A = this chain, B = another copy of it.
Amino acid sequence: MSQFLSRRDLARLITRIENGEPDAQTTLNELYTHAGGARVIGITGAPGSGKSTLVAELGRELRARPNPPQVAIVAVDPSSPFSGGAILGDRIRMRDLFGDSGVFIRSMASRGALGGIAAATADVVTALDAAGYNFILIETVGAGQLEVDVARIAQTVIVVEAPGAGDEVQAVKAGILEIADIIVVNKADREDVAQTVSALQSALDLSPANGAPPSQDIHHGPPELTGSAGATPADERWKPPIIKVSALRREGIDELLAAAEQHHEYLETSGEGQRRTQRRAEADIVARLRELLLRHALAQLPPHDYARLVDAAAQRAIHPAQAAAALLAALHL
């Protein structure tokens, strides 16, 4: 099944990526040029939205197709000290997937990877892609900057919401609706589902950024870097559909996969897919350059100067911004 990597080599490579081993990069450089064929789908949502069950059902549905695709599932949990499948293995609904040789399942924890867990996840996706996996499902826990970063890795982002999770819609509060290509209201067997759908629809209607790329990049680079490849005109923009699903009852999974397929076609025909690829590459390069520059600078700076300026800022003799400017000046760039 694998073009470039056995299952065993793949598992080892992922561990090396997670551990931030520098020699993994040589392998990744080679694999990167062979990757790019996989469909990468991100699934995110607040705790309790049932996204783990949904991911398992998506995997199962894909594997039940005629000529089933190879499916990889990556669960990203920065708060977890475990990795290598320990958490996922406990999930009852994923058990039969674990026995399927056409499915690769892995959970990732954050360790020492350069650029953080988002960069490590991008590298793991590269490895899975080059290894011949046709669908790569990335599940992220929580709702924050990590989700935005992971969204940049995925081609299609599914945001999962459970009905009645609070007096406010969680996705709206957490600001992750703007990264959604498809919105799933899970647990659609519950009675308060209509209210949640309507709240989500209102939020979508109000959001100017909706369907468009995020207008500002807080994390990966200064705003002036983004959007260099141009934006899609408003009338051609993708309107995220809201799809009712009951992952537990296996209802709505087909509709969700059909929506993902439509989004894929949109990306291909509108040119948005290519623009996203460009933006992703740029954000990745800038994130890595930022860390390289910092490491280089810290290695160059006389430790005494550094410690003295930290002390001065801690004692409120100077503002940290002044200390940073003094360090920049000391580098004589």
Contact = CB atoms under 8 A, between A and B. Distances in A.
A331 B293 CA distance: 10
Interface string A280-303: 111011101111111111101000
Contacts of A318: 29, 32-33
Contact of A327 (B116, B168, B285): B285
Nearest to A293: B293
Contacts of A331: 333
A316 B126 CA distance: 11
B218 A48 contact: no
Interface string A131-156: 00000000001111111000000000
A146 B48 CA distance: 21
A188 to B, nearest CB: 17
Interface stretch (A55-63, A169-177, A231-239, A257-265): A169-177
A284 to B, nearest CB: 4
A78 B218 contact: yes
A51 B59 CA distance: 37
**Residue among A36, A110, A295, A314 with the most chain B CB within 10 A?**
A314
A18 to B, nearest CB: 13
A219 B119 CA distance: 13
Contacts of A277: 314
17 contacts: A25-B319, A28-B319, A33-B318, A47-B170, A48-B165, A78-B175, A142-B173, A144-B144, A222-B295, A228-B307, A282-B310, A284-B320, A285-B320, A289-B327, A290-B290, A290-B291, A300-B333
List the 5 shortest-distance A-B pairs measured between CB atoms, nearest first. Answer: A144-B144, A79-B175, A48-B166, A288-B324, A284-B320
Interface of A: 25, 28-29, 32-33, 35-36, 46-48, 77-80, 110, 112, 116-117, 126, 141-147, 165-168, 170, 173-176, 216, 218-219, 221-223, 225, 228, 277-278, 280-282, 284-286, 288-298, 300, 307, 309-311, 313-314, 316-325, 327-328, 331, 333
